[in-house]
Structure formats: C-alpha cells, structure tokens
Amino acid sequence: MTFQVVFLLVIRRLIWYNSFTKKSARIFTDSYIKKIIIIGSCFFTMDITEIITNLVFQLAIIIFAARIFGKLAARVGIPSVLGELIAGIIIGPFALGGIALPGFPNGFFGVTDSAAGAVSSELYAFAQIASIILLFASGLETDLSLFIKYSVSGGIIGVGGVLVSFFFGAGCAMFILPILGIECSGLFDIKCLFLGIMSTATSVGITARILSDRKKMDSPEGVTILAAAVFDDVLGIVLLAVVMGIVGAMGSGQTLSGGKIGIIALKAFGIWLAATVIFILLSKKIARFVRFFGDATDFSIAALGIAFFLAGFFEKQSIAMIIGAYTTGLALSGTDIAPVIQEKIHSLYKFFVPVFFAVTGMSVDVTKLFSQKVLVCGGIYTVIAVLSKLLGCGLPALGLGFNLKGGFRIGAGMIPRGEVALIIAGIGLTAKDAAGIPIINQDLFGVVILMTLVTTLVAPPILSLSLSVKGRGTRKEVSSSESQQFQWDFQNQELTQLVLDLLYRDLRAEGFFVQMMNIDDGIITARRGETAISLQTDGSRLVIETAEEDMGFIKGELYEIMFRLNKSMQSLSSLKDAQSLQQGLASAENRVTDSMTRYLNKDCISVDLKGSTKDEILEELLSLLCRSGNIEDREMVLNALKEREATMSTGLEKGIAIPHAKTNGVKETCVAIGLKKEGIDFNSLDGQPAKIFIMLASPIENSGPQMRAMAAFSGALMRDEVRAALMNAENAESVIEILEERKSIITKYRK
C-alpha cells in the first residue's frame, strides 16, 4: 500500500510538470507517462494478487476451523454457532492468527491497517455477504401469516420482551460504560442504544430444539414462545433500522437534538415499513419474476440477488444491509417458492454463515476479553439480559392466563441470544460516531460476546429444568392434552425427505401456518387454532409430535401421502423397461475407469469363490468386504444387498455381476472382487452364468462415488482380453495388476 501511494504521487508530479514546463514535456511525453503507468500497474497487479492469495489461505483456514469447532460444539450439546465463534477467536489476529510465519510476517490474519478493524477489508466484505445470506434465510423462515394473524398473546409477550430488553440493555450501558472508561451522554447515547438493541435479540432455534426434545412444542408455553419469537425478530429489526438511521445522521456531521432524533427515527422506520409493505404486496409478482430465470436453483439464486439489491438500497439510506435482506426473505416467506428457496440456498448458507461467525470471533481481542473490567461488565450485562427476558416476557404472560410456572418457562425460552446479536455487534464495531470513533470498541465488543456466549449456554438447562417441574403452566386447564410422539422409519432418507416435503405442502393447503424454525435445526412447526404440530427428520425416520386428539389427523395426512406415493410409483410404467438401462452397461469403456484403482484391496479379493448359489456368493463376497474395515453392521449390509437383488438382478452381460447397495451399515464406499471359473446362475441379462463378481457398498449419505466405481469396473471389464486375463489370475495381486495394467494387457492380447 505504501508503494501505491508513492507511485501515484510521482505520476501526479510528472503530469503536473508535463503541463507547465516545456523541458519536462520533451522528456516526459504523454506516451512516456503511459509507459510508466503501465509498468507501475504491474506492481499494483502483484499487490492485488497477493491480497487475493492471502484471502484464499484465510478462507481455507476458516472453513476447516469453523467446521471442526462447530462439530465439536454440537457433539457436546451446545449450538454449533458458539463453536464457530470460538474457532474465530482462537485463529484470529489476537491469538494464533497473529503469529509470524514464513511468507506471512504478520501471521495469517495479522492486519496492520484495515477499515474493518481487526480483520482485512476483503475478509470483512466476505463476512458481510454471509450476513446477508443469513438474514435472508431468517426472513424466509419467519411465518408472516403468524405475525399478522395468529396470536395476540404472542404479540403482547414479544413486544414486552423487546421493549423491556431494550431499555434494560440501554440502562445497563449507562452504568457499565464509565467502568470501561467510555464517555456516555445518557440513555440515548448511540452506544447505549446499540447495547439496548443487542439485548433484544432471541435465537429461538435453540429453544425450539429443547421444546421438541421435551415434547412441549404444542404446549401452551411452547406455542406462545414460538409465536412471540416471530414478533421479537421483526421488532428487533425495526429498532435496528431506527438506530442505524441515527448513526447515519451522526456520520454526516449533523447535530442531533431530541426532535431531530425523533424525525430521523420516523424516517428510518418509514423507509423500512414502506419497503416491507411494497415487497409483501408485490411478493407474488416477485415470485413470478424470479421463476422467469429457470429451474428451482436458478430462481432461488435470482431471489437472493433481489435480497442483495434491497440490502444495498438500505445501506445507501444509512440503514443496515441485513435489514434489506431480512425484508426480502420476509416478503417471500408467504409465497409457494419459499421452501424451495430455503432448500436451494442451504449449501450457500452452510458455506458462508460459519465463515461469518468465525470472522466475528476473529474481531475479539482475547487480551481484553479476559480483562477484569470486561469480565465484570460482561457479567452485569449478561444478568440484565437474562432478567429482561424473564420479566419482559414472563410478566405479560401472567396477565394472559399463565401462572408463575408458565411465565417463567416463557421467559426462559426467550433468553438465548445468537446470530442477530453478533451481527449487530459487528456493525457497531465498524460504524463510526460523529467524531469518527467506532461505536463499539474492543472492550464493549468483548462484553457483547460474553453475553451472547453465556445466555446461549445457560438458557437450555434453565428451560429444561423449568419444563421438568410437574404441573401445568396455565391457571386453568387447557383443552390440549399431553403431547404424543409418533415415529415412522422409511428405511430411506431420500424417501423420508420426500414425504416431509409433501406433508409440508399439504399442511399449508389445509390452512396451517407452517414455519421452519432454523435452516440448520431442521424443525418444522405447523399451527392452526389450537392445533400445533412439530415435524423433524432423524436419518430415515420421520418424527411427528402433537397432542393426542390431533394425532389421528396427522396420521391420516401421512397415510394419504403414502397412498399417493404408492399409486405414483405404480404408474411409472417406465420401470418395466429398467432392464434396458442395464443392457450395454458393460459394452463400452468408461471415462472414469481410473476411479476404480482407489478401491482395489488385495484382502478383499478371491480368485476361487466356493459358493454355488447366488445367496452363497453374496455371503462370501460380503465376508471379503468385511476385511476392508468399513463394515459396521454386516446384517444391515446383507439385507440391503438382498433387497436390491430382489428388485432387479445385478447380473449384467458377458459373465459380469455387480451386486451393490447403499446402506448405513458401512462407513465409506468399499469393494470386494470374486472369481468363479465355472460360473453360477445369477439371473443375468443375457442368461449366461456369472463368473466375475464386483460387490460395492456405500453409505446412504455421501454415496456419490458408488456410481463412478460401478462405471469404472464395468468399463474395465468390457474387454474380452481383460476378462480372459482375470479368469487366469492365480492370486489377488494378479487381479490388481491386471486391472491396473488393462491397457497394456489389451495390446498384448491383440498382438
């Protein structure tokens, strides 16, 4: 960057001399200056290349660190977002990322000068893109119909929680700012307002998981919490829009009085409200517009493009980008393409969002995070954040038919902070006040991080403990009975997901308000009147939870879906010709034959199979397969192989059979090879005995290599020369050598 500044100053000086002196005009002609600029641009290009290279290294480290710590967090029962946040703290510039390494004098993440603070500008920009995707997904998950129509009690409790949390948080800021040595001008100081907003956020996905595990999703407390959370999210976004409008005015140098603050707040609220109303009214037209771009994947990306556009528009109005993204998702949440978009952007979400949380953690200065004053202030702010939800949500519940027990459960369910609090903290870390000083400094940022971590960790045990206390949470007996849970194992994850999607659509058609609580949690709730249903998948099992009197309805819906699927499968007459797909499978060498060498294992090869029937051969090959160390449940694998054979024989042509199966009884794709010179009847397509057997087994998830492996082996065995060589093989090593050197063998036989 220093070279760039010097170079520009030199060029500027040369151009000035060229304009005002004849002597320099003779020396530094226009063409000469152009050459200098071209040469200098090479240095600029090198600098840009270096920046991009550093970014690539940084993203690689972040991706693996976030994934590892996220999985570790989930394994010990805490939200993965906390693991990703901790990963960022550990690898950040204030910890391991600041250690000097060869080629990286400032460390992988060391930054000497960045407008984004602790991280580089380009990495910060990447994280901002991730925050837009996160809030767009959150908007899609918000049940707009529920917000407008569903629950008066949820609305009152949501509003109470937001208002009490906001003023408690802002009031707490007035107390802790002086302790941190930060000047505070009163309750409406911009720093106080920021801490007030961060106190309002709720991460209801955590609560939904606890309610589901305790079979309380359809309880009066569960329904009320989920309804209140919708109001909580929307109102928090509105408050952020107002505060960001004030920040924008401060940044432009305006002197703010109480009246001006009110006008700015009304303007920011008006912009948000107008954009939201317009987008909601035009939501169906927007849905038709994005469909113009093609299939589900294409129109989902187009919808995300609209979210980016509105995010940019809001930023231009001095309102946070994430509000525009959330508004777009909120508007589209009521359209029929919302679940499709959620599904299609899930991969983007899984890639970008952990990067955002890790980058947020990288902004934490660990030296200040564990300082005495930050720990004290963080503890005070956390206690206030917990109490504000307990009081703000619990007290209004007492006036809405709940007793103390129920009110406490509702308040506890609203305690967890999460994604939105971290996003707002990140905005405050880079936003500047009228003096050009960041609104949230490292001390305050540490306070917010502590509050987010602690509230997210303490909320589950508090809520679980309150739910374990016997007795109802309402003053009067309610009509709904204790929840029941029904599970159905479809033995196939793809089929389970298909049934869940159809059930999702049918419930919407029945007038239910259907909402996915969190794109990662995979919990779907459906509500209509007093009926509340929870749906989630666990591998190949569909888990349904609802009240006893509603279980008959949901079982009836499930039966109808299964009946329709069965009828549809019977109508697929093309299945009768499926054998034609197998014919010729081994008739031409395949492009992916090199893929098979990775699966060759001499311990899993036999040149003299003993079995004389199909079942005996399958058992023998499976014994070979077990030697790979990848078989976790032999019986499960055997049943899957036999089930596949019962559907259609895997005996091909020219003496080749490739029995295969996808099953969770294996850890990863594995292959066994067997030879039987005299052959056996394997119901092959050409009616000839099968002599060469290739058995493949793959896990249901991540089973992509199986088809490539099948194509590789069938392609290699299509040559008469290769098959003849295999039948003469004396041991496993010879089999591997023949398959690896098949091309030279073909040439040898032809000669």
Most confident range, picked from 266-280, 429-443, 731-745: 266-280
Query: Which residues make Cβ contacts (< 8 Å) with residue 205, sequence separation at least 6?
Result: 79, 418, 517, 518, 520, 521, 523
Most confident range, picked from 269-278, 419-428, 557-566: 269-278
Angle at CA of residue 429, ends 426 and 434, nearest 5°: 135
Edge-to-edge strand order for the sheet containing 531-538? 483-489, 541-547, 531-538, 524-528, 513-516
Provide the pLDDT for residue 244: 73
**How far apart are the C-alpha atoms of 388 and 382, rounded to whole Å?**
10
Q: What is the mean pLDDT of residues 286-297?
A: 85
pLDDT level of residue 621 (50, 70, 90 thresholds): very high
Provide the pLDDT for residue 672: 92
**How far apart are the C-alpha atoms of 631 and 665, rounded to whole Å?**
6
Higher pLDDT: 151 or 696? It is 696
Provide the pLDDT for residue 334: 75
Higher pLDDT: 337 or 36? It is 337
**How far apart are the C-alpha atoms of 541 and 219, rounded to whole Å?**
23
Q: Is the pLDDT of residue 125 over 70?
A: yes
**Best CA proximity match to 526, nearest among 478, 568, 494, 558:** 558
Q: Is the pLDDT of residue 22 over 70?
A: no
Q: How many of the other CB atoms lie within 10 Å of CB of 683?
A: 13
- The secondary element (H helix, E strand) that includes residue 694 is strand 690-698
Task: Indicate the CATH number for domain 590-750.
Answer: 3.40.930.10
Higher pLDDT: 136 or 702? It is 136
Per-residue CA distances from 36 to 8, 27, 303, 519 (Å):
11, 13, 45, 53
Provide the pLDDT for residue 11: 45
Q: Mean pLDDT, the chain, as a whole number?
A: 76
pLDDT level of residue 590 (50, 70, 90 thresholds): very low
Identify residue 183 by its one-letter amino acid code.
E
**How far apart are the C-alpha atoms of 496 and 427, rounded to whole Å?**
40
Kindly state the tokens that stand for 388. 């504000």
pLDDT level of residue 587 (50, 70, 90 thresholds): very low
Instruction: Give the model confidence (pLDDT) of 53-98 as tens digits.
Output: 888 888 999 999 999 998 888 788 777 778 888 898 898 888 888 8
Identify residue 255 by its one-letter amino acid code.
T
Q: Is the pLDDT of residue 36 over 50?
A: no
Known catalytic residues?
A: 660
Instruction: Give the model confidence (pLDDT) of 468-502 as tens digits.
Output: 777 777 777 655 455 677 888 887 777 787 888 78
Provide the pLDDT for residue 297: 82
CATH superfamily assigned to domain 483-570: Sirohaem synthase, central domain (3.30.160.110)
Confirm if 225 and 413 have CB atoms less than 8 A apart: yes
Provide the pLDDT for residue 356: 85
**Best CA proximity match to 641, nearest among 694, 686, 692:** 694
Which residue ranges make up each domain of the chain? 2-76, 121-468, 483-570, 590-750
Task: Indicate the CATH number for domain 121-468.
Answer: 1.20.1530.20
Confirm if 666 and 637 have CB atoms less than 8 A apart: yes
Provide the pLDDT for residue 63: 92
Higher pLDDT: 54 or 33? It is 54
Q: How many helices (H) and strands (E) does the chain have?
A: 30, 10
Greatest CA separation found in the chain? 101
What are phi and psi for residue 256, nearest 5 degrees?
Answer: -105, 120
Higher pLDDT: 255 or 232? It is 232
Evaluated on CA atoms 418, 419, 423, 426, the torsion sign reads positive
Provide the pLDDT for residue 306: 93
Q: Is the pLDDT of residue 359 over 80?
A: yes
Provide the pLDDT for residue 472: 74
**Best CA proximity match to 161, nearest among 386, 346, 334, 2:** 386
b or e along 55-85 (b: 16 or more beta carbons within 10 Å of the residue's beta carbon)?
Answer: eeebbebbeebbbebbeebeeeebbbbbbbb
